[in-house]
Structure 1
Amino acid sequence: MTERSELPDAEIHHGHGDVSGGWLRAATFGAMDGLVTNTALVAGVGGGGAAPQAIVLAGTASLVAGAISMALGEYTSVKTQNEQLDLEVEKERVELERNPDGELAELVQMLRARGVDAGLAQRVAVQLHRDPETALRLHVVAELGLNPEDKPSPMVAAVSSFFTFSIGAVVPLLPYLLGFSLLWVALLCGGAGLAAAGAISSRFTPRPWWFAALRQLLFGAAAAGITYAIGSLIGVTVA
């Protein structure tokens, strides 16, 4: 008679979203930044009394400059974060080589802090320390909260932020590009884009879609209102 394991079968159809700061964070940040930046810019320049051609020129320049800046900033930021993690991993590797007993005791303490009995924690730590790479990975994850094998790609972050910023930035310019020269139409278009982007981002969070949409719309409206007021004041002064 075949013995059956008392342990439940492992769940194999199970996955998690991107939480390591890769494409999702960069894409969300890029889209929101593009929408807020150019909606506010259109409000400020339009509030100052600029002609539609000047608004399109300013908005296009903002789109190109912002997309490049976002891409370079994301690449540098993620690359620096990865390099810092590599440095910390190397520090931990050296420490494991120089002071294996101390690192073993540290792992025992970490296991005990998570509710493992003292004797079992000692046996588990000893067994895990038999493989230096396993021990290294456990110490890095426990001490830094980051997995050295799950680093985000700087290039993916740069490309995703570049394209999503560009898409977001072009939304408030669409009415002018399509021949409409009314400022309120452009602002309405930007507001709709902000609400839509917020609602889409809620798919990756526990927040309801309407909350995320309203939150982003309010943020964008505040930015646009401030720049419109400043643009109006400057336009009156220049006139």
Structure 2
Amino acid sequence: MVDIKHIQTEVDASFLYGVLAKNEEDANVAEVFKQMSEIELSHAVAFLKKNKLGESQLPPPSLRARILNKIGKFFGYDYILGVLLDTEKSLASATMKARGGVSTSISDTAHVAILKNILNNHPKVSGSNLARFEKRHRSVGGNALRAAVLGGNDGLVSNFSLVMGIAGASSGQKEVLLTGCAGLLAGALSMALGEWISVKSSQELYENQMDLEMEEIENNPEGEEKELALIYQAKGIPADQAIVMAKEIMKDKEKAHEVLIKEELGIDPEDIKGSAMEAALSSFFMFAVGAVLPVIPFFFMGGTPAVLLSTLLSALGLFLIGASITLFTGKSVLYSGFRQVLFGLAAAAVTFGIGKLIGVSILG
């Protein structure tokens, strides 16, 4: 029996790499993406042939792939690259199993490695382009949109549960509305502050370590030169060559500092350039968007109708969040959506029940 899901995976990857190729300004890197698109398509064709099917039976790009293309127009096409790179390992694992050993011209390893190999071996792709690709790989990764989805989920689930707990304990519209708004603001501010502290403290830690490394270079250049040589030796470079490399690098203090913070401390300067305030505002906004959904009905009504409408709006929001998560996982939209709804409703039901018990106890 043919597993259409795995064929679809290959077709979608081919389509998305094709999108990247069409929208890449650098002709050489565009060629890399074009080759990746052809590789993915060859996987799909090979799998069809294994199952005695023709190329005419290749499915079109899925709705998920088309949505990712649309998102790329707003968030930048580097976002699509990020999603592809983030999911390649799981995709490779799934398609290897599905192909059952079908031989293709490219080894079925993680495609991040394939991309790097193509970039390294492509005759027209320079080292600067490879460095640019690496920078983009680190900086995109789908992290912004993933954080937005998770932030919205946190806001919706936590405030929905809070609102249901108060609604269970009290039938008053004003009480529920006040609690919901307070929960929204408290949660959003807490998320924003936590994100700001996280980003800022990481930046300050890295900056402190980088300053200390520069002091060591200035005060003990011989010791730092030996350390650098040992790092290269640990990578398998012969001792004599490692010593020569370290000596050459240490002639330029700035270059030596750049190399040592990467090799010795494992710090990339690009990692500390993010804005802590931007991260905080993003967290605040996305949490608030999720948290406001269960509160909306209580602006206009109270009692059971408000509870039912709040549950309906929250369930819809939970389903959309679950469906959005499939952009990263590639799983079934219905499965992920209804799973999110089930978990969210279960949490709200527990707090509603507890609220009911507390309310009866107080009134009794």
TM range (shorter): 0.7 to 0.9
Aligned with residue 175 of structure 2, among 29, 49, 54: 54
Q: Does 1:107 align with 2:228?
A: yes
Aligned residue runs from structure 1 range 31-70, under 5 A? 31-70=152-191
Q: Does 1:171 align with 2:293?
A: yes
Deviations 1:89-142 (A, max 9, x none): 111111222222222222223233334343443333333323222222222233
TM-score, normalised with respect to structure 1: 0.78
Structure 2 gaps of 5+ residues are 1-120
Greater shift after overlay, 113-122 or 53-62? 113-122
**Structure-2 residue corresponding to 1:231:** 355
Q: Does 1:156 align with 2:156?
A: no
Aligned residues: 233
Greater shift after overlay, 209-218 or 152-161? 209-218
Aligned with residue 129 of structure 1, among 233, 246, 250: 250
Q: Are the aligned partners of 2:163 and 2:180 in contact in 1 as well (CA < 8 Å)?
A: yes
Considering Cα pairs closer than 8 Å and 6+ residues apart, tell me whether 1 or 2 has the greater RCO: 1
**Structure-2 residue corresponding to 1:9:** 124
* Displacement of 1:238: 1.1
Residue type of the partner of 2:195? Answer: E
Residue type of the partner of 2:314? Answer: G
Give the secondary structure class of the aligned counterpart of 2:137.
coil
Give the secondary structure class of the aligned counterpart of 1:208.
coil
The verdict on how the C-alpha distance between 1:80 and 1:47 changes in structure 2, with shifts beyond 3 A counting, is same
Rounded Cα–Cα distance in structure 1 between residues aligned with 2:330 and 2:234: 32
**Structure-2 residue corresponding to 1:3:** none
Q: Does 1:142 align with 2:266?
A: no
* Displacement of 1:29: 4.8
TM-score, normalised with respect to structure 2: 0.54
Greater shift after overlay, 170-179 or 42-51? 170-179
Aligned with residue 191 of structure 1, among 292, 299, 315: 315
The verdict on how the C-alpha distance between 1:26 and 1:207 changes in structure 2, with shifts beyond 3 A counting, is same
Sequence identity of aligned pairs in percent?
Answer: 39
More helix by share: 2
Aligned residue runs from structure 1 range 216-227, under 5 A? 216-217=340-341, 220-227=344-351
Give the secondary structure class of the aligned counterpart of 1:150.
helix
